[in-house]
Amino acid sequence: MAARTMQAARCPTDELSLTNCAVVSEKDLQSGQHVTVKTTPNHKFVFTVKSHTTVVPGTIAFSLPQRKWAGLSIGQEVEVANYNFDKCKQCIGSMTVEIDFLQKKSTDSSAYDSDKMAAEFIQQFNNQGFSVTQQLVFSFCDKLFGLVIKDIEAMDSSILKGEMPTGKKQKIDVGLMVGNSQVVFEKAETSSLTLVGKAKTKEARQTIINPEWNFEKMGIGGLDREFSDIFRRAFASRVFPPDIVEQMGCKHVKGIMLFGPPGCGKTLMARQIGKMLNAREPKIVNGPEILNKYVGESEANIRKLFADAEDEQKRLGANSGLHIIIFDELDAICKQRGTGASSTGVHDTVVNQLLSKIDGVEQLNNILVIGMTNRPDLIDDALMRPGRFEVKMEIGLPDEKGRVQILTIHTNKMRGFGLLSGDVDIPELAAETKNYSGAELEGLVRAAQSTAMNRHIKATSTVEVDMERAEKLQVSRSDFMGSLNNDIKPAFGTNQEDYASYIMNGIIKWGDPVTSVLDDGELLVQQTKNSDRTPLVSVLLEGPPHSGKTALAAQIAEDSEFPFIKICSPDKMIGHSEISKCQAIKKVFDDAYKSQLSCVVVDDIERLLDYVPIGPRFSNLVLQALLVLLKKPPPKGRKLLIIGTTSRKDILQEMEMLDAFSTTIHIQNISTGEQLVDALELLGSFTEKERASIGHQLKGKRVWIGIKKLLMFIEMSLQMAQDYRVTKFLTLLRDEGSGRACYE
């Protein structure tokens, strides 16, 4: 057909609008022909035509999307001419089509199979011409979709000739749809449409991890393993291509629970996770802020936290951004249901509301809830199941490598400005700060800075800074060491004053029995450190009263140099009820489990048990608690040495407690005159002549006295005049012996 002028008209029926064809009269053109429609001298568009009886001859009818694309108006005159496709160069090999719901009110959350959609598309529009930027309407599964042609690649001509493909791809502006063309659907940028299947483009994804993320700049150290575990569990599914995640049927993790001792970086970690992710601004909530005195308000506060995420998921579906909600002090609002003393049950309804929002009937897939607590034992069990707070991560005390990182972070600025002395050795400080939390290490750096600054302050009648010297301010090793010894002590560490009083006179090695006990103690310490098969080692030191059991236990504990040493002693539990005593003992063990290497001395067990021979009577509650704790292995990766002391082995035997200890070591009293003279020599209290006199009196005689009682007798004798000291000492020994054969 030679070019002729025709008049643009409206498409006669909705059904014809869906054919993507320009509709003409049978008198003008035949169905299946291709034409060019010239709207202006510089604009020409290719259409495939379809004839219909309702169209007036001399007019050409277009659907609304076609008129939008070509810029046509009703009644406009256009120039129409035949168009022939070059089948060697213009057959469509693959075509990318942008898709969205035609009307926003008809959106739904159903998943549409792009493979079936592509097959339907090729069937509906086979042998039609398509142009880049063309708009059309497509009907699939009784839904109408608006399409825009984004990209067309020509079919490799060698395939059409039956030859091996060359692999060359050529982009074209106009192409002909054939039976073996490929159609790939691409979701519109703001669309809430969900596509599944392979006939869709890999979406251009903005990585969820912020590219400028850096642990040290964010001030986090010693948590590398914890971060890698959180990434593996919580973010791997969000970083991976969504289509692969869909094919696996994988659901995103919605909740992370961070727990551990205070000051170890839980809040810091949660805060930085928000900065690290390309997500909505995190909502940070302190647990108690949720609670409200008015009925229903606490639950409403929970609903408000999730409202934005719910609204966005309804609008954008799978394209919704990630919403992060951070709960600090979660135990304040999520205690075990049914345990509250209040009759209102406010806590219970808050927990119920939170449970339903995180993983209820209407599931949200665009949230990440991070909870933090020092008391995971208080949290309701339903919150901890998979689907809710399923990633549970203990943020514990940093190891030596972690302490190096933390100290480096907190001293970086000083180092950069030359305010850190060259004699400050970070690895040395890390080795000295066993059981320090991150917050305590930061406090140590602050204390050292204060000590250094204090040197340049002149405190006379007024407080002034010596500016000349202040400009040369440097924080030195001695500042750190002074703060380490005097200012900052670890909450979960070894309180030296705690056990120093037990060995203030040192260990008197009066004979082989003492040396043997210390050697056995050293073996048990090495076993605890080195053996992977026995993470729990327990030993009972038993012997007569005043034989030095507690001092030996304290000495073994001190020599172990374990980062955590605690003495569980009855003198700290005077007046405690049975329950509070059990809780105090359990707290000592719970604290011990938080350290890599721990030693707990359970002193004077029969006093802890409230044992008295009259009756007989003892606390069964404390006994059962001790039996459980003595046998309970520490958590994985932790090691614990327990040293018990008792003067009543026979009683513990009846209580079946001896079996709870791995081994028992007997502590002897001084039993011969020679051993007693050796002890006197080591103590250096009497003169050589006095010791010789005492030795002569005791030669060949059997002696039975504890080292503690011996020290008491010596000190009493030394208060006498020089000539009477030996006599007084021997008299004291004899008087003691009248009751229980001190010597014969």
**Non-local CB neighbours of 415 within 8 Å, separated by 6+ positions:** none
CA distance 558 to 486: 19
DSSP single-letter state for residue 571:
G
CB 546 within 8 A of CB 645: no
Using DSSP's 3-state secondary structure scheme, residue 652 falls into helix
State the catalytic residue, choosing from 359, 380, 479, 603. 603
State the catalytic residue, choosing from 494, 550, 645, 646.
550
Alpha-carbon span 281 to 274, nearest angstrom: 7
- Residue 239 tokens read as 């970083």
User: For residue 394, which of 272, 264, 481, 515 has the smallest C-alpha distance?
Assistant: 264
604, 645, 678, 709: the catalytic one is 604
Compute and round to an integer the Cα radius of gyration of the chain: 42
Q: Count the neighbouring beta carbons within 10 Å of the beta carbon of residue 89.
A: 13
Sequential DSSP letters for 41-74: TTEEEEEEEEE-TTSPTTEEEE-HHHHHHHT--T
DSSP one-letter code for 497: H
Classify 325 as helix, strand or coil: strand
Q: Are 124 and 48 in contact (CB under 8 A)?
A: no
Report the C-alpha gap between 626 and 690 in whole angstroms. Answer: 48
Burial class (CB in 10 A: 0-12, 13-18, 19+), 85: middle
With CA atoms as reference, report the closest residue to 442 among 222, 630, 602. 222
Measured CA to CA, the distance from residue 524 to residue 526 in angstroms comes to 5
User: Got the DSSP string for 365-432?
Assistant: SSEEEEEEES-GGGB-GGGGSTTSS-EEEE-----HHHHHHHHHHHHHHHHHTT-B-TT--HHHHHHH
Helices (H) and strands (E) in the chain, counts: 27, 29
Active site residue 549: yes
Closest of 675, 648, 643 to residue 511, by C-alpha = 675
How far apart (Å, rounded) are the C-alpha atoms in residues 549 and 492?
A: 25
Among candidate residues 200, 254, 335, 549, the one labeled active-site is: 549
Is the separation of the CB atoms in 22 and 47 below 8 Å?
yes
Nearest to 563 by CA among 439, 662, 437, 411: 437
Task: Say which of 304, 458, 631, 699 is annotated catalytic.
Answer: 631
Round to whole Å and give the CA distance between 142 and 110. Answer: 13
Neighbours of 610 (CB within 10 A): 17
Q: 150, 283, 392, 708: which one is catalytic? A: 708
Q: DSSP labels for 4-23? A: EEEEEEE-S-HHHHTTT-EE
Kind plus residue range of the DSSP H or E element containing 145: strand 143-154
Quick one: which of 292, 320, 288, 319 has its CA closest to 306?
A: 320
Cα 219 to Cα 73: distance, rounded to the nearest angstrom? 63
- CA separation for the pair 496, 490 (Å, rounded): 11
Task: Please indicate whether residue 631 is annotated as part of the active site.
Answer: yes
Is 604 one of the annotated active-site residues of the chain? yes
Catalytic: 529?
no
**Segment holding 323, helix H or strand E:** strand 323-328
Residue 694, phi-psi category: left (phi > 0), alpha (psi -120 to 50), beta (remainder):
alpha
Which residues have a catalytic role annotated? Answer: 549-550, 603-604, 631, 708
